[in-house]
Amino acid sequence: MRAGAPAFQWNAAIQLVLSLLGVMSMWGAALFLLLRGFIRDPGSTAVTVVPQNLTLAAGLGWCGLLLLPSAGYALLRLLGRSLRPILANATVERLLMLLLLFVVMPSALLGGDWAARTQSYTWLVLPLANVLAVSIPVLWIIHLGRNRLPGGSPQRSWGAFGSGMVLGSSLMITFEMLAIGALFFLGIVMVASQPTWLRELNDLAQRLEMSPSTPEAMLNILEPYTRHPLLIFLVGAYLAVITPLIEEACKPIGVWLLVRRSLSPAEGFVSGLLSGAGFALLESLAYSANANTAWTVTVVARLGTMLMHIFTAGLMGWGLTQAWKRGRLLYLAVAYLGAVLIHGLWNGLTVGVALVGIQITGSSRDATFFQLALAAILAISILAGLIGMNTALRRAIMAHSDSDSPSSEAAPQPQNIQLEEVTNGKLD
């Protein structure tokens, strides 16, 4: 390499390639589902519309679109150029956020609820309503978590978001499938060692095959097995222990990829939030797309889950930067343990209360009510933690600025740090 020549930006090149691969994967899957959304009935010219496929196609298409800024900023970095933020006015940003929350969000919920309940124009209304009803809360959670905190350049921010959506999700699916396979093998070994369990399993399979294909009928058959100690143990171990251990390590992949960067704890927290938001958005769009007539309940219930995913990923991002920059491995251990406990508590209690509700009332509808009530309590606690973490980090930045300057007036305000980095062309 010539003396004085700028070094090739390998990080930007990798980000560009991965982002474009993510775009092609998302849009390819969306196109496949879009084609499967209209099925011609055999022997006739009638066409059956599958709203779930169209809704999921819209969600995947939207996720692919959100990966384009990551690719664009990475390309600009390779070309040695910068781009000023499109929305730099704080007042305009607040007005837009309020418009989304109090006008667009209620309209999306009402329109989606009407389409899901009446089955009128579901294929047309629900895809757009689903994208808006899931995306706006994610945007608001990010807004609350990163409020006046330095998060780095737009390239870093969009890269963290995209990596959480694509790499984080891929890693989680891989490891969780391996965990499910291990549990399934363990279950087979235990059932094979008990002849009575094997007979019960065969009897259950025959009853399910002969029963009507309705949720209530299947619930009546499966309800006695929800009390089985082995089933409770396996489900509880997977949802409350194994899943949190895997997901909390993989979700902040956007921070793991910045291991060589000298990130501040606030920047690590924000990058973790964005990485968790990418995963939470993709997961929630997929869940709510298959909710059928329970779309509204599913979207509302997912609000707390998205909040939990984003906050715990931010907590992990903070812990990772504490370990890298200051050598505080204990902080990382505490952050990981805290994230796993929050996640495990969320999964364990919500599923546990649902099982109790089914056993007491015999109704999946009442179980859903119990889930929503518990989710609301936990979500409020997590929201308080998110705002508290943001406040603590802002105070730490202000205290550091005051200690480094002769007067408080000369100290830079934390909300200007990111804008100065961008306008000066600093992309990493």
Q: pLDDT, tens digit, for every residue of 30-65? A: 999 999 988 876 766 677 788 899 999 999 999 999
Mean pLDDT of all residues in 267-280: 96
The C-alpha atoms of residue 252 and residue 257 are separated, in whole angstroms, by: 9
Report the pLDDT value the prediction gives residue 309, as an integer from 0 to 100: 97
Three-state DSSP class for 199? helix
Burial 65-92 (b: 16+ CB within 10 A, else e): ebbebbbbbbbbbeeeebbeeeeeeeee
Report the pLDDT value the prediction gives residue 428, as an integer from 0 to 100: 47
Question: Does residue 269 register a pLDDT over 50?
Answer: yes
Residue 212: Cβ-neighbour burial (10 angstroms; 0-12, 13-18, 19+): exposed
Query: How confident is the prediction for the chain on average, in pLDDT?
Result: 83
Yes or no: say if 338 and 313 are a contact pair by the CB < 8 Å rule.
no
Range of weakest confidence among 170-179, 286-295, 344-353: 344-353
Yes or no: say if 163 and 257 are a contact pair by the CB < 8 Å rule.
yes
Mean pLDDT of all residues in 270-287: 96
Range of weakest confidence among 30-44, 123-137, 140-154, 303-317: 30-44
**Cα–Cα nearest to 101, from 59, 144, 68:** 144
Mean pLDDT of all residues in 352-375: 59
Residue with tokens 């998060």: 151
Report the pLDDT value the prediction gives residue 373, as an integer from 0 to 100: 74
Yes or no: say if 347 and 363 are a contact pair by the CB < 8 Å rule.
no
State how beta strands 38-40 and 47-49 pair: antiparallel
Query: What are the helix and strand counts (H, E) for the chain?
Result: 18, 2
The C-alpha atoms of residue 304 and residue 376 are separated, in whole angstroms, by: 7
Most confident of 21-25, 149-153, 230-234: 21-25
Helix or strand holding residue 38 (H, E): strand 38-40
Report the pLDDT value the prediction gives residue 371, as an integer from 0 to 100: 65
Residue 143: Cβ-neighbour burial (10 angstroms; 0-12, 13-18, 19+): middle
- pLDDT tens for 309-321 read 999 999 999 999 9
Mean pLDDT of all residues in 102-118: 93
Mean pLDDT of all residues in 138-152: 92
Yes or no: say if 253 and 167 are a contact pair by the CB < 8 Å rule.
yes
Mean pLDDT of all residues in 387-391: 96
Residue 122's pLDDT band, with cuts at 50, 70 and 90, is confident
Report the pLDDT value the prediction gives residue 39, as an integer from 0 to 100: 81
The C-alpha atoms of residue 5 and residue 221 are separated, in whole angstroms, by: 71
Report the pLDDT value the prediction gives residue 376, as an integer from 0 to 100: 82
Report the pLDDT value the prediction gives residue 241, as an integer from 0 to 100: 93
- pLDDT tens for 214-261 read 656 666 666 666 666 777 777 788 889 999 999 999 999 999 998 778
Question: Does residue 117 register a pLDDT over 90?
Answer: no
Most confident of 47-51, 142-146, 180-184, 396-400: 142-146
Q: Residue 120, Cβ neighbours under 10 Å: how many?
A: 10
Contacts 24+ apart (CB under 8 A), 37-44: 37/123
Mean pLDDT of all residues in 254-279: 92
Question: Does residue 297 register a pLDDT over 50?
Answer: yes
Report the pLDDT value the prediction gives residue 244, as an integer from 0 to 100: 96
- pLDDT tens for 162-220 read 999 999 999 999 999 999 898 888 878 877 777 777 777 777 777 766 766 565 666 66
Question: Does residue 294 register a pLDDT over 90?
Answer: no
% of the chain at pLDDT higher than 70? 80
Report the pLDDT value the prediction gives residue 405, as an integer from 0 to 100: 62
Residue 410's pLDDT band, with cuts at 50, 70 and 90, is very low
Residue 86's pLDDT band, with cuts at 50, 70 and 90, is low
- Of the CA atoms within 13 Å of residue 55, those in its CB half-sphere come to 27
H helices within 80-168, ranges in order?
90-99, 105-118, 122-145, 154-163
Per the model's pLDDT, the better-predicted residue between 152 and 171 turns out to be 171
